[in-house]
Amino acid sequence: MKYLDKKIEEIHKLLKEKKIKPIDLVEEAFQNIENSDCNSYITLNKEEARNVAKELEKIEVEDNLLFGLPIAIKDNIVTKGLRTTCASHILDNFIPIYDATVIEKIKKNHMIIIGKTNMDEFAMGSSSRTSYFGAPTNPWNKEKISGGSSGGSASTISARDVLFALGSDTGGSIRQPASYTGIVGMKPTYGRISRYGLIAFASSLDQIGPMTKNVYENALLLNILVGKDEKDLTSVNREEEDFTRFIGKNIKGLKIGVPNYFMSDIVSKDIKNKVKEIIKVLEENGATVDFIDIKYLENAVTLYQIIAMGEASSNLARFDGIRYGHSIKDPKDIDDLYFRTRSEGFGEEVKRRIMVGSYLLSGENAKIYYNKALSIRDDMRKEFKNAFQKYDLLIGPTTTTTAYNLSDSMDDPLKSFLDDVLVNPVNMAGLPGLNLPIGFDKEHMPIGMQIIGNSFEEAKIYQLAAFLEKKLKLELDPNRGEKNV
Amino acid sequence: MSNYIPTIGVEVHLELKTKTKIFSNSMNGYGEMANSLTNVVDLGYPGTLPTLNEEVIKLGIKAATILNCNIRKVMHFDRKNYFYPDNPKNYQITQARTPIGYDGYVEITLENQEKKKIYIEEMHIEEDTCKSAHRGEKTLLDFNRAGVPLIEIVTKPCISSGEEVKLYLEKLRELLSFGDISDCKIEEGSMRADVNVSLRKKESDPLGTKVEIKNIGSISNAKLGVEKEIKRQTKIYDNKETIKPQTRRFDDKKNDTILMRVKETGNDYRYFPEPDIPFVVLTDEMIESCRKEIPMLPDERRQIYKEKGILEINVNKLVQNRSLSDYLNTLLEEKIDFKIASNLLLGDISAYLNKKEKTIQETTLTKKRFVELVHLLENNTLTSKNLKEMIEDILEKEDSIEKIMKEKNIENITDDTEIRKVIKTIISNNPESVEDYKNGHDRAIKYLMGQVMKETKGKVNPKMTMDILLEELK
pLDDT digits (tens, 9 = 90+) for B6-42: 999 999 999 999 999 999 999 999 999 999 999 999 9
Distance from CA of B389 to the nearest CA of A (A): 58
**Cα A92 from Cα B54, distance rounded (Å):** 37
Cβ proximity of B169 and B219 under 8 Å: yes
Name every chain A residue with its beta carbon within 8 A of the beta carbon of B50: 233
In this structure, what is the dihedral angle of CA atoms B67, B68, B70, B74, given to the nearest 10 degrees?
40
DSSP class of A410: -
**Cα A128 from Cα A168, distance rounded (Å):** 13
Q: Are residues A234 and B270, on separate chains, in Cβ contact within 8 Å?
A: no
Is the backbone of residue A414 left (phi > 0), alpha (psi -120 to 50) or beta?
Answer: alpha
The confidence band for A483, taking pLDDT boundaries of 50, 70 and 90, is very low
pLDDT of A419: 80
Closest CA to A357 of A321, A313, A417: A313
B217 near A CB under 8 A: no
pLDDT at position B161 over 90: yes
**Cα B306 from Cα B301, distance rounded (Å):** 9
The confidence band for A484, taking pLDDT boundaries of 50, 70 and 90, is very low
B279 near A CB under 8 A: no
Name every chain B residue with its beta carbon within 8 A of the beta carbon of A199: 46-47
Q: Are residues B90 and A370, on separate chains, in Cβ contact within 8 Å?
A: no
Angle at which helix A458-472 crosses helix A215-225, to 10 degrees, equals 160
Residue with the larger pLDDT of the pair B141 and B452: B141
Q: Are residues B272 and A310, on separate chains, in Cβ contact within 8 Å?
A: yes
pLDDT at position A471 over 80: yes
pLDDT at position A309 over 90: yes
Nearest CB to B52; choose among A94, A98, A233: A233
pLDDT at position A333 over 60: yes
Can you count the helices (H) and strands (E) in chain B?
A: 16, 16
**Cα B266 from Cα B151, distance rounded (Å):** 23
Judged by average pLDDT, the poorest of A418-422, B66-70, B98-102 is A418-422
pLDDT of A389: 97
Cβ proximity of B68 and B104 under 8 Å: yes
Query: For testing the chain B interface, which of A74, A90, A230, A231 should be mutated: the one with the most B CBs within 10 Å?
Result: A231
Distance from CA of B47 to the nearest CA of A (A): 4
Distance from CA of B33 to the nearest CA of A (A): 19
CB proximity list for B40: less than 8 A, separation 6 or greater? A97, A98, B48
In this structure, what is the dihedral angle of CA atoms B232, B237, B239, B242, given to the nearest 10 degrees?
100
Distance from CA of B179 to the nearest CA of A (A): 29
Q: What average pLDDT score do residues B277-282 get?
A: 98
Q: Are residues B47 and A323, on separate chains, in Cβ contact within 8 Å?
A: no
The confidence band for B427, taking pLDDT boundaries of 50, 70 and 90, is confident
Q: Are residues A317 and B277, on separate chains, in Cβ contact within 8 Å?
A: no
CA distances from B346 to B339, B340, B387, B394, B454 (A): 11, 10, 13, 15, 31
Cβ proximity of B101 and B69 under 8 Å: yes
pLDDT per residue over A276-291, tens digit each?
999 999 999 999 999 9
Angle at which helix B162-178 crosses helix B54-66, to 10 degrees, equals 130
Judged by average pLDDT, the poorest of A19-33, A215-229, A275-289, B355-369 is B355-369
Cβ proximity of B318 and B327 under 8 Å: no
pLDDT at position B442 over 90: no
Q: What average pLDDT score do residues A19-47 get?
A: 97
Name every chain B residue with its beta carbon within 8 A of the beta carbon of A338: 83
The average confidence (pLDDT) of chain B is 92
Judged by average pLDDT, the poorest of B90-94, B117-121, B387-391 is B387-391
Residues in chain B, how many?
474
pLDDT of A416: 67
pTM value is 0.90
Cβ proximity of A41 and A72 under 8 Å: yes
The confidence band for A295, taking pLDDT boundaries of 50, 70 and 90, is very high
The confidence band for B435, taking pLDDT boundaries of 50, 70 and 90, is confident
- Number of residue pairs across A and B with CB atoms under 8 Å? 98
Distance from CA of A1 to the nearest CA of B (A): 38
> Does ipTM come in above 0.85?
yes
Domains of chain A listed by start with CATH number: 3-257+387-472 (3.90.1300.10)
Residue with the larger pLDDT of the pair A193 and B463: A193
Q: Which residue of A has its CA nearest to B140?
A: A322
pLDDT at position B417 over 70: yes
Residues in chain A, how many?
485
**Cα A317 from Cα A475, distance rounded (Å):** 45
Residue with the larger pLDDT of the pair B164 and B262: B164
Judged by average pLDDT, the poorest of A141-150, B245-254, B407-416 is B407-416
Closest CA to A86 of A413, A242, A315, A279: A315
pLDDT at position A409 over 90: no
Q: Are residues B45 and A310, on separate chains, in Cβ contact within 8 Å?
A: no
pLDDT per residue over B292-337, tens digit each?
999 999 999 999 999 999 999 999 999 988 899 999 999 999 999 9
pLDDT of A413: 66
Please report which helix (H) or strand (E) contains residue B104, including its range: strand B101-109
Nearest CB to B275; choose among A98, A203, A319: A203
Residues 42-71 of B with CB under 8 A from A: 43-52
Q: Are residues A98 and B45, on separate chains, in Cβ contact within 8 Å?
A: yes
The confidence band for A414, taking pLDDT boundaries of 50, 70 and 90, is low
CB proximity list for A51: less than 8 A, separation 6 or greater? none
Q: Are residues A313 and B83, on separate chains, in Cβ contact within 8 Å?
A: no
Nearest CB to B88; choose among A84, A313, A318: A318
B141 near A CB under 8 A: yes
pLDDT of B409: 75
**Cα A252 from Cα A313, distance rounded (Å):** 47
Judged by average pLDDT, the poorest of A49-53, B110-114, B287-291 is B110-114
Q: What secondary structure does DSSP assign to A306-348, as a single string?
A: HHHHHHHHHHGGG-SSSSSS---SS-SSHHHHHHHHHHHHS-H
CB proximity list for A281: less than 8 A, separation 6 or greater? A468, A471, A472
CA distances from B257 to A345, A358, B155 (A): 41, 35, 21
The average confidence (pLDDT) of chain A is 95
Distance from CA of B55 to the nearest CA of A (A): 16
Angle at which helix B442-456 crosses helix B431-438, to 10 degrees, equals 140
Q: Are residues B43 and A334, on separate chains, in Cβ contact within 8 Å?
A: no
pLDDT at position A481 over 60: no
pLDDT of B179: 94
The three-state (H, E, C) secondary structure of A217-264, written as one string: HHHHHHHHHECCECCECCCCCCCCCCCCCCCCCCCCCCEEEEEHHHHC
Domains of chain B listed by start with CATH number: 5-284 (no CATH), 296-407 (no CATH), 416-473 (1.10.10.410)
pLDDT of B136: 86
Q: For chain B, what percentages of helix, strand and coil (3-state, to nearest 5) are there?
A: 40, 20, 40
